[in-house]
Structure formats: structure tokens, C-alpha cells
Amino acid sequence: MHNEFMAFINDDHTAPIVQSWAEKQGFPADTVRGGGPDLFATLLESDSPPKLALVDFDGIDQPTQIAARLVSLCGPATQLVALGTTNDVTLYRGLIAAGFSDYLVKPVTPEILTQTMLTASRGEKGAHGAPKEVKVIVIIGVRGGVGTSTIATNTAWMIAHDLKKKSALLDLDLQFGTSALALDIEPGHGLRDVVSSPQRVDGLMIAGAMVSESTSFSVLSAEESIEDLIHVDASAIAALIKEMRPNYHAIVIDMPRHLIPTQKRILATAHEIVLVTEMSLVGIRDTLRIRTTLKGLGSTARITQVATRIGASRPAAVDEAAFAKGAQAKIDFILPDDHKTMTAANNSGKMLGAMAPTAPLTKAMLELAKMLVSSAEEKAEAPKKGGNILSGLFKHAPKEDSKA
């Protein structure tokens, strides 16, 4: 068995959906097996359990007893999600009482799988008991040099300093990243080891790689040799985010676009993705290409489209309507070009919020930061589309029941 995730699916219609979803998340092909709880129980007798498992209970007599057995065979470190056709509250309660995290009613979609597995992997149970909501925010430039890192660094800083929420910035450009320079802090040592060794990632290792800008803002960045080929392992990033989750309100990831092929898992599970673009034909083309990829991953993230460095001295090459039509996405935020303020900020190693709090660029950036963290509660409450039994079960429940 694989140690991250396994699925045991009984029916020929659901198996290919789960299979294709699992492959897109980067899991090996044999992660999804035919056969249900019986096969899983047999394998558990000789093999260690995965961290997360999806188990099909269709056609199983006494499902709650079998569920309890699986829970005891797996131990507390494994999160188990059940799957079935029956939309029955008694079955649901029995499975949860046995120790399962959630129950999904067929048919499943990639979006539902992503959302449910994400919730389960965080150790949350169904719609209840959600811990403090953390926002994983991925910022990607659809083109190079458009101003992506400026947005990532400044919004992460603003979340900590202006919005008073604990924030961390993870700069995944380990060779050319600019966050440490922009913040006038030392680039840390050790991020390279963290991102390349999934088995070794733990709290101590992360703490060693992290540089604190203040008590509420931490930065993980590097300035590795440009002669090396650096491997950013998807499992290591998942482990890193999992370790960081309990300590932060927001984790802002500055992700170079060339990492998209290897970072599908974090893209599929992030809460927010910000696509930063210039207003040009190539901006349209690459926005469309990246959005199509995200859709294919079954990502449930809210995507915010930002156009930046727009101003009299840098007029847009295409207008908003042409962009919206071509990229099939409207621009949500426009950040003005402000060469003077940016130069002063860069030269002094200060953030916009500290140096020019009233500048229009700073105000627009703060609006973006607010938007990125503000909807945590709304999102936690949003009902899952499709077949999850929880959406039906708790439709009329008081609000607190579907929140923390």
C-alpha cells in the first residue's frame, strides 16, 4: 500500500473517476483498487496504513461494524472517508461514530473528492469541528516579471501587519526569489532540504528554515546556487503545509509558473489562487491555459484574476472586455503602475504598507489582501455541490453546527 492515500472502490462507474482524480493529484496508478473494505482489511493485516483512505461501502452488510474494524486496524493517524449510494442519515451517523471522517454519496466528482479529501487530511470531521480556518493562498504570474512577487510579499505582509492575522510567506523560487531582499531580511537556510525531502519534513526542520520578520509574519525563502537543479517535491510541499497549518491564518505561496506541472496537488487543494497578468495577448493566452489546467485538476480554489502595473506610462495593450472574452475570465483587481513608490520601496527594503500607506497602489493591494483572507468563514459554510450527504443533512441546522 502507498503511505499517502489509497482508495478501495467497488463499482465500475466510480473507479475511473477516482482513478483519474488520483492520477491528477500525482498519486501512483495502483492507488485505486477494486474491491471494498474487505480487501483493505486484508492488506492492513500485513501492511502499514495510508494517511488517508477512501473506502466504498456499497454492497457491504453491517457497514458500521466493518468501519469500526478498519478504524482499529488503521489507528488514529489515518483519516478514513466512506463512499456509497445510500443517502441515509443512520448509516452516516454510524460511520462517523465508528471513527470515519466523512461519508460521500455517489456520484462523486473531482471537485467533491478534492474538497472532502482536503477536509479529511486536515483532520476535520465532516462539517463539524473545523479547526481555525487557515487560508492557503497561491500566487502565480501567468507571465514572468509582471509583478507577482511584489503582490505575494506585500499581501502576506499586510495580512500580518494591517489585518493582524498570523501570516507566512513561502517563496518557491529558491534561486531567483526576491522576498528576502524586498523585506530586507536574511534569506533562510534549509528550505531546499525541506522541499526536497518529504520523509524528513517536521516542525523542527521548518522552524530552522524560517525567518521571522516579526512575531506575526514568517518567511520561508532561499537564495540557492543558480547552477543547481532544484527539485521541489509535491509530497514535501504537502507535508510542509500540513505542519504549518495550525500556526497560521494565511500561508501565501509565491509559485513560479514553471512549477505548475510538479505542484498539482497544492494547486488542487489551495483555498485561493491569484493569477497575475499583464493586459496583453500573451497574457490572455497564458491565463486561459493556466485556468484550463486548474479546472482539469478539479481545483476548488477561488481564482482571483489580477492585472498589474497598469497606468499612463504603461497602458494596457488589450482592454478589459477583450481580456475577459479571450481568457474567459474577467479581471477582478487592477493594480496601478507606480514606478516611483516601488523604486523607493525596493531601495529601502520596505514594504508598501510601511513606506507609502496612502499610495493608491498600497490601498489596492490592501483590498486584495482583505479579500484573500476575509471569506474564510463563508467558504467553510459553503455547501458542497453534488452528492455529499452533509449538504442535505445540515441544510436546516443552526449555523454553529456547520462551523467550528
Ligand X SMILES: Nc1ncnc2c1ncn2[C@@H]1O[C@H](COP(=O)(O)OP(=O)(O)OP(=O)(O)O)[C@@H](O)[C@H]1O
Residues that bind ligand X (CB under 6 A): 141, 144-150, 173, 178, 308-309, 335, 337-339, 342, 346, 361
212, 183 Cβ separation under 8 angstroms: no
* Helix, strand, or coil (residue 59): coil
145 binds, among Mg ion, ligand X, none (CB under 5 to 8 A by kind): ligand X
- Residue number of the CB atom closest to Mg ion: 149
Q: What is the DSSP letter of 375?
A: T
Q: 2 — phi, psi (to 5°)?
A: -85, 150
298, 110 Cβ separation under 8 angstroms: yes
Q: How far is the CB of 343 from ligand X (least distance, A)?
A: 7
Q: How far is the CB of 352 from ligand X (least distance, A)?
A: 9
342 binds, among Mg ion, ligand X, none (CB under 5 to 8 A by kind): ligand X
Q: How far is the CB of 182 from Mg ion (least distance, A)?
A: 10
* Beta-sheet pairing, 32-34 with 5-9: parallel
Under rule CB under 5 A, which residues in 124-183 are in contact with Mg ion?
148-149
146 binds, among Mg ion, ligand X, none (CB under 5 to 8 A by kind): ligand X
Would you say 103 or 217 has its CB closer to ligand X?
Answer: 217
Q: How far is the CB of 160 from ligand X (least distance, A)?
A: 19
Would you say 361 or 393 has its CB closer to Mg ion?
Answer: 361
Would you say 76 or 145 has its CB closer to ligand X?
Answer: 145
Sheet holding 167-171, edge to edge: 211-214, 217-220, 167-171, 250-254, 135-141, 272-277, 302-310, 333-336
339 binds, among Mg ion, ligand X, none (CB under 5 to 8 A by kind): ligand X
Q: How far is the CB of 239 from ligand X (least distance, A)?
A: 25
78, 53 Cβ separation under 8 angstroms: yes
- The C-alpha atoms of residue 57 and residue 62 are separated, in whole angstroms, by 10
Would you say 121 or 178 has its CB closer to ligand X?
Answer: 178
150 binds, among Mg ion, ligand X, none (CB under 5 to 8 A by kind): ligand X
95 binds, among ligand X, Mg ion, none (CB under 5 to 8 A by kind): none
Would you say 111 or 173 has its CB closer to ligand X?
Answer: 173
- Count of residues engaged in binding Mg ion, rule: CB under 5 A: 2
Would you say 134 or 351 has its CB closer to Mg ion?
Answer: 351
CB atoms within 10 A of CB 231: 12
HSE at residue 52, side-chain half, CA atoms within 13 A, is 19
Would you say 145 or 398 has its CB closer to Mg ion?
Answer: 145
Q: How far is the CB of 171 from Mg ion (least distance, A)?
A: 8
Would you say 167 or 308 has its CB closer to ligand X?
Answer: 308
Q: How far is the CB of 261 from Mg ion (least distance, A)?
A: 18
356 binds, among ligand X, Mg ion, none (CB under 5 to 8 A by kind): none
Q: What is the DSSP letter of 383?
A: P
Dihedral angle over CA of 198, 204, 209, 214, nearest 10? 130
Q: How far is the CB of 288 from ligand X (least distance, A)?
A: 19
291 binds, among Mg ion, ligand X, none (CB under 5 to 8 A by kind): none
76 binds, among Mg ion, ligand X, none (CB under 5 to 8 A by kind): none
Q: What is the DSSP letter of 301?
A: P
- The C-alpha atoms of residue 16 and residue 4 are separated, in whole angstroms, by 19
Buried b / exposed e across 261-294, counting CB within 10 Å, b at 16+? Answer: eebbbbbbbbbbbbbbbbbbeebbebbeebbeeb
Q: Give 155-198 as a DSSP string.
A: HHHHHHHTS---EEEEE--TTT--HHHHHT----SSHHHHHH-T
Would you say 133 or 338 has its CB closer to ligand X?
Answer: 338
HSE at residue 6, side-chain half, CA atoms within 13 A, is 22
Q: How far is the CB of 381 from ligand X (least distance, A)?
A: 34
Binding site for Mg ion (CB under 5 A): 148-149
